[in-house]
Amino acid sequence: MANLDNLATLIRTLSKSEKRYFKWSYPWEPGDKVYGDLYDMLEKGQIPIQEIKTKLKKIYPDALLEPASKHLYKMLMRSLRNYEADKSVENKLITLLGDVRILFSKGIFELCFSEIEKAKTLAYRHEKFGYFLLFARLELQYLTNLEFPDTDETALLQKQDKINDLLYHELFINRHASLYELLTYRYYKQGNVRSDKETARLNDLLLDESQVNATNKYSSFESDKLHLHFQSTYFLMTGSPEMSLQISKELNKLFQENSGLWSDSPVYYIYLLHGILTNLYFMKQYADIPYFLNELEQLKPTANSLLLLKQHLVYFHQIGLSSAQGKHKEAVAAAREYEENFLAKKILIPPNTQAAMYFRLAVVYFGVKEYSKSLHLVNEVLNTSGSFISSQLYVLGRLLHLLIHMELHNEDYLHYEIKSVERKLKKNKKLFTLEKITLQFLKKWLNMQDRTKALQYYANALAELEENDYENQLLHQFPFRRWVQGHLQKTPFLEVKI
């Protein structure tokens, strides 16, 4: 059961229309219901939890807060379920499942089986095979209980064969999904491969995926989607963004040809477009970005959380494109607009996605020498719970954190922090080449009288790193080479051409 902190978060994330629907469903007046006053106080979002408890105790001396909070939570969840009831195929199927069980228990059998058939047709048409199987098994259970009215043996066998076919396909999808989930886990936790050993481990997954794919007997949107997305992610991780992008475009075509299967819940497509735009950014194919960015902007999710996620990603890629094209004033303007619309309002975004934006904003402000602002944003990245942030993003955050302190001339702090970062990365086995040469450069910077030599060492080492397929992907996240050349040429690094 949710505690008051969970309730406060839930209420804070409600859209205006969701709040109106809740208050319309459960009207109250101030001082009328303890759960109503609790809701009003939590909605304001500025009253500490302990103060809320004290105020409610004064108004309702005999009331217990825990039962009131549990009741409010149940009411909110019921309201949200009702509000979303007809907005997606899955919600419609869940509603139908409840209706079918009620109809059977009330003895209204003809309508019950009619609703089951309706649900099966809807589930099959939208490739919700798990729901189809649920209704199909329920149908056979009810037919058995009623001693098979109006059902001959041929019809019974056909129903059973259909269940077996879809069970086999669901098993195939589950095996395929398991491999894709494992690959995606490695991507988010480890980033691109950075050693031959990691490549070999991915090749084992690729072989498993090929073997699973060979067993597919039934083509569906879900199975095709999983295969293409696995291939795209594999090539992205192994340093072949061109192949990854090519497959992602095939995947985008698949989505566009089957929009009826996902349009009510477009979260997967939102992340697909995000992946395509990220690939284009890394490959410096900036001319293609506006098309896919427009595709993302045109989506109109019904769920408020998805709408906010979409808007967040639009800002993320607009800022990235402006920075990459040297339009730094536009990038800063978009960054400030994003802060006003999202950060100032504390809008909730998935942690790793939010941390990626913090890092991108930190890079933008670093480029225009707003180092204190950049430092604050990097700290937001590093303060994100380790279980919710990718290893690659964390490492880049630590490196940028060091460079900011170098620019701020915090040399005493740098001595301590370099040792801390090195120790942390060694412990986690994440001390790869970029990290090593950056830490080595900073040590030289602190200890050498001729700091130009330290800068030159770093510039040469970074140039060699460009040829390393395992390492150069990280160089797209922050302009390390331009930054060091800016110091060598005594020029703002945003003006340096490489």
Instruction: Give the chain's length.
Output: 498
Q: What pLDDT does residue 322 have?
A: 94
d(CA 454, CA 441): 6
Neighbours of 145 (CB within 10 A): 10
Tokens of 434: 């970029």
Q: Quick one: tokens of 357?
A: 């934006």
> In the prediction, which pLDDT does 122 show?
94
- Kindly tell me if the per-residue pLDDT of 76 is higher than 70: yes
CA distance 41 to 28: 14
In this predicted structure, the answer to whether residue 1 has a pLDDT above a threshold of 50 is no
Structure-model confidence comparison of residues 497 and 261, the more confident one: 261
pLDDT-based confidence at residue 2 (cuts at 50, 70, 90): low
- Tell me what the pLDDT averaged over the chain comes to: 88
Q: Which of 137, 212, 216, 123 is nearest to 169 (CA)?
A: 216
DSSP 226-246: HHHHHHHHHHHHTT-HHHHHH
Please say whether the beta carbons of 177 and 226 come within 8 A. yes
* Mean pLDDT on 5-19: 83
Q: Kindly provide the b/e burial profile for residues 373-392, where b requires at least 16 CB atoms within 10 angstroms of the residue's own CB.
A: bbbebbebbbebeeeebbbb
What pTM was estimated for this model as a whole? 0.79
Q: Smallest Cα–Cα separation from 363: which of 406, 397, 409, 326?
A: 397
Domain positions in the chain are 4-84, 89-151
Residue appearing with tokens 């019921």: 78
Q: Cβ–Cβ contacts within 10 Å for residue 353, how many?
A: 15
Amino acid at 280: L
Return the pLDDT at 213: 85
- Which of 312-326, 439-453, 470-484 is predicted least confidently? 470-484
Distance CA 407, CA 395 (A): 19
% of the chain at pLDDT higher than 90 = 47
Amino acid in the structure at residue 438: T
Q: Which residue has the higher pLDDT, 204 or 400?
A: 400
- Higher per-residue confidence, 304 vs 317: 317
> What's the whole-number mean pLDDT along residues 26-38?
80
Count of CB atoms situated within 10 Å of the CB of 104: 20
Contact present, 276 and 57 (Cβ < 8 Å) = no
- Cβ neighbours of 81 (radius 10 Å): 12
Residue 46 predicted with pLDDT over 80: no
Whether residue 409 has pLDDT greater than 60 = yes
Burial class (CB in 10 A: 0-12, 13-18, 19+), 473: buried
Residue-wise pLDDT for 146-204, tens only, equals: 999 988 999 999 999 999 999 999 999 999 889 988 888 887 777 777 677 777 888 88
- Residue 111's φ and ψ, nearest 5 degrees, are -65, -35
Q: What is the pLDDT of residue 469?
A: 65
92, 104, 106, 114, 204 from 101: Cα distances, Å:
14, 5, 9, 12, 46
Looking at residues 131-149, what average pLDDT do you find?
Answer: 95
Q: CB within 8 A of 478, min separation 6: which ones? A: 363, 396, 399, 400
What is the per-residue pLDDT for 48?
A: 80
Mean pLDDT computed over 242-247: 90
pLDDT computed for residue 388 by the predictor: 76
pLDDT top residue among 263 and 221: 221
Closest among 404, 425, 406, 428 to 415, alpha carbons compared: 406
pLDDT digits (tens, 9 = 90+) for 440-473: 999 999 998 889 999 999 999 998 888 776 666 6
Average pLDDT over residues 467-481: 77
The pLDDT of residue 339? 93
